[in-house]
Amino acid sequence: MDILQLFVSGLANGCVYGLIALGFVLIYKATEAVNFAQGDFMMLGAFITLGLTNDQFWGLPFWISVPIAIASMGAFGYLLDMLVLRRMFGQSQVALIILTIALGFVLRFAAGAIWGHEPISLQSPIAGRDVRFGGLVLGLDEVWVIFVTIFLTVILYFYFNRTRLGVAMQAASQNQLAAYYMGIPVKRVHSLIWALSGMVAAVAGILFASKGSIDPSIGLLGIKAFAAAVIGGFGSLPGALLGGIIVGLIEPFASYYIAAGYSQIMPYLLLFLILVFRPHGILAQVHRKKV
Amino acid sequence: MRTVFKTSYDADIDYFRHGMHAFWYLALLLIMIVLPFLMSPFAIGEVTNVLIWSIAGMGIMLLVGQTGQASLGHAAFLAVGCYANVLLQNAGLPFILSFPLAGVIAGLAGVALAIPTTRLHGIYLAIATLAVSILADDLIVVAEPLTGGINGLLAPTIEIFGLPFDRYGTPGRFYWLVLLVTVLVVLAYRNIQRSPLGRSFAAVRDSEISAQAMGVNIARTKAVAFGLSTAITGLAGALMGHFAGIFNNETFTIIISIQLLLMIVIGGLGSIHGAFFGAIIVALLPQTISTLRDGLGDILGTTIRVPGMESAAFGAILILFILFEPMGIYGRWIKIRTYFQLFPFYRKDMFRRQKSYLKTERMR
ipTM entry: 0.80
Q: Report if residue A246 sits inside a domain.
A: no
Q: Please, how many CA atoms are within 13 Å of residue B7, restricted to the half-sphere of its CB? A: 1
Query: Which positions 200-259 of A are in contact with B (Cβ < 8 Å)?
Result: 216, 223, 226-227, 230, 234-235
Cβ-based contacts of A279 with chain B (< 8 Å): 119-120, 124
Q: What percent of chain B has pLDDT over 70?
A: 94
**Does the distance separating the beta carbons of B209 and A88 come in below 8 Å?**
no
Domain with A72 in it: 12-218
The pLDDT > 90 percentage for chain B reads: 33
Among the partner-chain residues A87, A106, A286, the one whose CB lies closest to the CB of B363 is: A286
To the nearest whole Å, the CA of A188 is away from the closest chain B CA by 16
Instruction: Calculate the alpha carbon distances from B15 to A90, A203, B18, B24, B54 in Å.
Output: 35, 57, 9, 13, 20
- Chosen from A27, A32, A35, A98 to mutate, greatest number of chain B CBs within 10 A: A98
Cβ distance of A95 and B357 shorter than 8 Å: no
Say yes or no for a CB contact (<8 Å) between A94 and B361: no
Classify residue A260: in a domain, yes or no: no
Which of the residues A24, A25, A99 would you substitute to probe the B interface, choosing the one with the greatest number of B C-beta atoms within 10 Å?
A: A99
The beta-carbon contacts of B276-279 under 8 Å, at least 24 apart in sequence, are B276/B50, B276/B54, B276/B57, B277/B328, B277/B329, B277/B330, B278/B53, B278/B57, B278/B328, B278/B329, B279/B50, B279/B51, B279/B53, B279/B54, B279/B56, B279/B57
Instruction: Judge whether B322 and A106 are in contact, CB under 8 Å.
Output: no
Smallest CA–CA distance, residue A14 to chain B, in Å, is 19
With respect to residue A18, please indicate whether it lies within any of the assigned structural domains: yes
For the stretch B197-238, pLDDT in tens is: 999 999 988 888 888 899 999 889 999 999 999 999 999 999
Count of A-B CB contacts under 8 Å: 144
Q: Give a yes or no: residue A279 inside a domain.
A: no
Domain total of chain A: 1
A178-187, B153-162, B304-313 — most confident range: A178-187
Which of B93, B85, B96 has its CA nearest to residue B236?
B85
Residues of chain B neighbouring A106 (CB-CB closer than 8 A): 312, 315-316, 319
pTM equals 0.87
Domain ranges for chain B, please list them.
36-254
**Sequential pLDDT tens for chain A (291 residues):** 678 878 888 888 888 888 888 888 888 888 878 888 899 999 999 999 888 888 777 878 888 888 999 999 999 999 999 988 888 776 777 788 888 888 988 898 888 888 888 888 887 777 767 777 766 777 788 888 888 888 988 998 898 888 988 888 888 877 888 888 888 888 888 899 999 999 999 999 988 888 878 888 887 788 888 888 888 887 788 888 898 999 888 888 888 887 776 777 888 888 888 888 877 777 766 554 444
Interface test with chain B among A275, A276, A278, A280, by most B beta carbons within 10 Å: A275
Asked, for residue A240, whether it belongs to a domain, the answer is no
Which chain A residue is nearest to residue B305, measuring alpha carbons? A113
Closest chain A residue by Cα to residue B123:
A94
